[in-house]
């Protein structure tokens, strides 16, 4: 999708906010614990490469992504720090992994065996850097038992083509008030650690929520994702450990303002009819920008005032009910602050019945990300 610069709709990304969030986290970490910035999914919709550079300046020493292509994008952009791919990369792509000097995740014995065959043929001088993933209760990817992990370690260490660089797990409930399931996962992982006679370079368990709310987490590296963008991982359930400053604002402008008499339909399907004489404004953002049709009934901010989205959201535009006339070109805020009022990503998520992670990811590629 072409990025549309010649239109007033923009995602503004505040560098200072990202820096603030990372620096505050690093201050809390033990000295030997590193912060890897998670910039998967285009940096949670904020822009992966630009965010990665900001994170580096703020003190991140490595990166996590979800896919091989995301890792390659960072390398192509000049990032030389360690990059860990968190999801599974098929062994058929291992030459790329080696060429780009990436670290990847191993979650099964079959994968190791297939990888060994591929690596023998590649005959690379550099070893493949592997992080062993342990499934302690997320049920997604990873080895389940200590025996499986021991076996994987032995396999990697016996291989001339592999290096055991990391061991990690992922918590499924670290953002909840009830810590019982987190404890169970943590116990499983620490029990495993106690059984091993040596450990790799990186041992890591913490996403943002674990780093923020579980002092007893294990490891010498954290995978810091959503909180870096200034979003509370728990939504509203847990109080922020320090102020998380939201990095993204979504703004646009009124492109037409008109006064309509009573009885006029607004948008496709005539789902809203003016009950009386009303000022209606048009905003150039729609579902193709990720501003879903479900946003009908939510609101935007114009000069600090909440204005309801009326009628169906179109592909490229939507209409709002204005309290009075405004000039064309007046700023419209869809996420962020506007003259003392604010719409948070959390509020948008609540309107949609989802989490802010999804809202950040749904703002489409058509909307330019402008770094301030």
Ligand X SMILES: *Cc1c(COP(=O)(O)O)cnc(C)c1O
Q: Is 40 a catalytic residue?
A: yes
> From CA 78, how far away is CA 72, in angstroms rounded?
10
Instruction: Consult the annotation and say whether 315 binds a ligand.
Output: yes
Number of chain residues interacting with ligand X (CB under 6 A) = 12
Q: How far apart are CA 320 and CA 302, in angstroms?
A: 10
Nearest CB to ligand X, comparing residues 134 and 283:
134
| Spatial distance between the Cα atoms of 70 and 48, rounded to a whole number of angstroms | 8
Site string for ligand X, 215-254 (x = CB under 6 A): --------xxxx------x---------------------
Q: What share of the chain is helix, strand, coil (3-state, %, to 5)?
A: 35, 25, 40
1 is in an annotated binding site: no
In whole angstroms, how close is the CB of 197 to ligand X at the nearest point?
A: 26
CA gap 210, 233 in Å, rounded: 10
Q: Mask of contacts with ligand X, 60-99, x by CB under 6 A?
A: --------------------------x-------------
**Listed ranges 17-25, 201-209, 297-305, 318-326: which one lies at the site for ligand X (CB under 6 A):** 201-209
Tell me the per-residue interface mask from 134 to 173 with ligand X, x by CB under 6 A, - otherwise. ------------------------------------x---
Active-site residue (options: 242, 268, 277, 294)? 268
Cα(150)–Cα(109) distance, integer angstroms: 11
Q: How far is the CB of 104 from ligand X (least distance, A)?
A: 13
Cα–Cα distance for residue pair 354/369, rounded to 1 Å: 23
Sign of CA dihedral 53, 57, 58, 60: positive
Quickly tell me which residue has 């209606």 as its tokens: 280
Output the CA–CA distances (angstroms, integers) from residue 75 to 99, 195, 224, 294, 321, in the order listed: 10, 36, 19, 38, 46
94 vs 209, which CB is nearer to ligand X? 209
Ranked by CB distance to ligand X, the top (closest) residue is 225
Applying CB under 6 A, the residues found at the interface with ligand X are 38, 40, 86, 170, 207-209, 223-226, 233
Binding residues for substrate: 140, 315
Give me the active site residues, please: 40, 268
């Amino acid at each position: 999708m072409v990025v549309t610069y010649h239109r007033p709709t923009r995602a503004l990304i505040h560098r200072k906010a990202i820096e603030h969030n990372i620096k505050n986290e690093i201050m809390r970490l033990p000295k030997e614990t590193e912060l890897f910035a998670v910039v998967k999914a285009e940096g949670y919709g904020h822009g992966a490469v630009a965010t990665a550079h900001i994170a580096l300046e703020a003190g991140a020493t490595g990166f996590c992504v979800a896919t091989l292509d995301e890792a390659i994008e960072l390398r192509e952009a000049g990032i030389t720090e360690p990059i860990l791919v968190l999801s599974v990369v098929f062994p058929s792509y291992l030459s790329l992994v080696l060429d780009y000097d990436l670290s990847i995740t191993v979650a099964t014995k079959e994968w190791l065996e297939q990888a060994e065959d591929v690596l023998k043929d590649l005959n690379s001088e550099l070893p493949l850097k592997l992080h062993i993933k342990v499934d302690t209760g997320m049920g997604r990817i990873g080895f389940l038992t200590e025996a499986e992990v021991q076996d994987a370690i032995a396999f990697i260490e016996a291989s001339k083509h592999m290096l055991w660089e990391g061991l990690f797990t992922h918590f499924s409930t670290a953002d909840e008030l009830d810590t019982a399931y987190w404890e169970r996962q943590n116990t499983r992982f620490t029990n495993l650690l106690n059984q091993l006679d040596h450990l790799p370079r990186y041992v890591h368990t913490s996403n943002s929520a674990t780093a923020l709310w579980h002092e007893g987490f294990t490891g010498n590296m954290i995978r810091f994702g959503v909180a870096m963008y200034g979003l509370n991982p728990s939504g509203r359930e847990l109080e922020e450990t320090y102020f998380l400053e939201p990095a993204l604002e979504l703004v646009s402008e009124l492109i037409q303002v008109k006064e309509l008499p009573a009885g006029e339909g607004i948008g496709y399907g005539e789902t809203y009819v003016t009950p009386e004489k009303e000022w209606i404004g048009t905003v150039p953002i729609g579902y193709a920008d990720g501003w879903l049709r479900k946003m009908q009934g939510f609101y935007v901010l114009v000069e600090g005032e909440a204005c309801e989205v009326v009628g169906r959201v179109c592909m490229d535009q939507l209409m709002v009910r204005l309290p009075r006339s405004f000039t064309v070109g007046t700023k419209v805020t869809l996420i962020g602050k506007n003259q003392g009022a604010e719409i948070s990503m959390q509020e948008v998520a609540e309107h949609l019945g989802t989490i802010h992670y999804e809202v950040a990811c749904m703002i489409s590629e058509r909307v330019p990300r402008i770094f301030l």
